[in-house]
Amino acid sequence: MQAIEIETTIDADGTIQLPEAYRDRFGRAARLVVLFSEPAEPAALRPAPGSAKGRLVPAQDDDEHLADFTDYMK
C-alpha cells in the first residue's frame, strides 16, 4: 500500500478533493485517515467547583439520611 499526505478540503456533500497528480487513482480502494486542524466538536466546558452553590436545593433534609452511612463514617 502506498501512503501519501495531502492537504485538502471536504465539500459540504462529503467529497474530498484529490490533487490533480493523484486523479489517475479514481475508482481504486483506499484507506483514509483524517486529521482535522481544529476540533470537530467544541469541548464541553466543565463548571468550576462550587459554581452551583445556592442553586441546588436538597429535596429533603439530609440529616435523617446520614444514619444510613454511619458504618462508612467510622
Residue-wise pLDDT for 41-74, tens only, equals 666 777 788 888 888 777 666 677 777 788 887 7
Instruction: Tell me the C-alpha distance between 53 and 55, whole Å.
Output: 5
* Predicted confidence band of residue 3 (pLDDT cuts 50, 70, 90): confident
Question: Which pTM was predicted?
Answer: 0.38
Whole-Å CA distances, 66 to 37, 61, 73, 74: 51, 10, 9, 12
Q: Which residues pair with 16 in a beta bridge?
A: 10
Query: Phi and psi of 3, rounded to 5°?
Result: -110, 135
